[in-house]
Amino acid sequence: MTTPTSPFPGVPVVDADGHILEPRDLWERELPAKFRDATIKVTWNEATQTEDEWVNGALLFPGLATTNGWARLPRSVRDNPVGLRWEDLTPAGLHGKDRVAELDREGIDVAVLYPSLGLGIGGLTDPEHAVLACRIYNDWLASYCAEGPGRLIGIGAIPMQDPAAAAREAERCVRELQFRGVVIRPNPCGELFAHDRAYDPLWEVLQGLGVPAGFHPAGFPDTFGAAQTYGPLWRGMTPLGKVLNFMIDVVTTFTMLIASGTLDRFPSLKLIVLESGVGWLPWWLDKMDHWNEARLPGPSIELRPSDYVRRQVWVSGDPDETSFPLAAQVAPADRLVWASDFPHLDILESEPSATAELYEHLGALPAAVAEGILGRNACELYGL
């Protein structure tokens, strides 16, 4: 396939949320022996001839691990992944040099990279384990990004199980590893939710560094959230529950961050709502502003909820998303970015080209809005 030609010459094309594929045994081989049985890993199931994904010593996704990297695989393989090994997944997920070739193929200038297996770090119950798991992941990600300097941008994992250690690791990620933000799941760690005052030192560090916290849902049932609460009700149904898992978790977390006054205390902190689309945003802004004006008894916040989004929150949409025009009419257009989710299974809806599909949808927007979504907004967000 030829590289899609951008209808916006001179505008950077930035994938605001792509993913990598960590080695199946990254943590198993690096962690102290006492944590190896409880860590994140992918194992081959001889009985089913499929790959299993483990988190915190529990078999979280039997037979489904390879869905992390189905992009660019033949349809016949994806329709029947029996026999598919982790190492057979798309090379652009596994190796930095191959990712650069994929960017060239799609006409993408920069990809900002988030975890795949590493999203499981948020479900680890031992804080010491989580601290070490983050360091191992971040050091490996730095080596992956080194294969595409300036084009592969790392986002660091931080141990939310230990708020003080999370702040330290965030600083290491930016100052030593040259990452441009950190990733957090929109689920609590134990009793700690993101708006808890225990995380104020983390928000202070990120605000000072000028890099964002990307709230990236995982839909794992290992911590409190929609998947754990409602997952049993969805068994035996189509995978549409994932839509609700992601949106419920991020909307809940961001509502609490605003309502708790966290963004009043940290007015320059950059936050991102990832992988939940943009279509819900106009409804959320309307209803949040409405109930804020109702002024029920209780603590108040300094601004309207929509003003916090305008000031310091970005939201990502998919290449095939038709909601960008509606969202851009109601939400701040300079706070919208696009994300491929490559090489996860939903990239299949944008094959053979994510950027070609993106250009098709951006064509209905005013040029300035489209150029912002294509890359200018992400450059401001990540400081590229």
How many alpha carbons fall within 13 Å on the CB side of residue 361?
21
Task: Report which of 152, 128, 255, 245 is spatially closest to residue 195, judged by C-alpha positions.
Answer: 255
Q: How far apart are CA 355 and CA 95, in angstroms?
A: 21
Lowest mean pLDDT among 84-88, 193-197, 226-230, 315-319: 226-230
Q: What is the pLDDT of residue 221?
A: 86
Parallel, antiparallel or unpaired: strands 41-45 and 58-61: unpaired
Q: Return the amino acid letter for 249.
A: D
Q: What is the pLDDT of residue 177?
A: 98
Q: What is the pLDDT of residue 1?
A: 60
pLDDT above 70 for 106: yes
Q: How far apart are CA 266 and CA 199, in angstroms?
A: 11
By three-state DSSP, how is residue 17 classified? Answer: strand
Q: How far apart are CA 172 and CA 377, in angstroms?
A: 25
- Given a contact cutoff of 8 angstroms between Cβ atoms, the answer to whether 138 and 179 are in contact is yes
Looking at the chain, the whole-number percentage of residues with pLDDT higher than 90 is 77
pLDDT above 80 for 169: yes
Q: What is the pLDDT of residue 76?
A: 85
Eight-state DSSP code of residue 337: E
Q: What is the pLDDT of residue 349?
A: 60
Q: What is the pLDDT of residue 347?
A: 67
Q: What is the pLDDT of residue 210?
A: 98
Q: What is the per-residue pLDDT across 228-241, written as a single tens digit (0 to 9) for each?
A: 888 888 776 666 77
The winner for highest mean pLDDT among 8-22, 292-306, 321-335 is 8-22
Q: What is the pLDDT of residue 364?
A: 86
Q: What is the per-residue pLDDT across 191-237, written as a single tens digit (0 to 9) for each?
A: 899 999 999 999 999 999 999 999 999 988 888 888 888 888 877 66
- Given a contact cutoff of 8 angstroms between Cβ atoms, the answer to whether 344 and 114 are in contact is no
Q: What is the per-residue pLDDT across 64-78, written as a single tens digit (0 to 9) for each?
A: 999 999 998 888 888
Q: What is the pLDDT of residue 228?
A: 87
Looking at the chain, the whole-number percentage of residues with pLDDT higher than 70 is 97
Question: Distance between terminal CA atoms of the chain?
Answer: 29
Using alpha carbons, list the distances in angstroms from residue 254 to 13, 75, 288: 27, 37, 11
| DSSP conformation letters of 205-229 | HHHHHT--EEE-----TTSSSHHHH
b vs e for 134-173, b when ≥16 Cβ sit within 10 Å of the residue's Cβ? bbbbbebbbebbeebeebbbbbbbbbbbbbebbbbbbbbb
Q: What is the per-residue pLDDT across 345-367, written as a single tens digit (0 to 9) for each?
A: 876 666 789 999 999 989 889 99
pLDDT band for position 300 (50/70/90)? confident
Tokens 């230990």 label which residue?
162
How many alpha carbons fall within 13 Å on the CB side of residue 112?
31
Average pLDDT, the chain: 93
Average pLDDT of the segment spanning 53-63: 91
Furthest-apart CA pair in the chain: how many Å? 60
Could you tell me how many helices (H) and strands (E) the chain has, helices first? 17, 12
pLDDT above 80 for 100: yes
Q: What is the pLDDT of residue 243?
A: 78
Tokens 């708020």 label which residue?
163
CATH architecture of 14-37+90-382: Alpha-Beta Barrel (3.20)
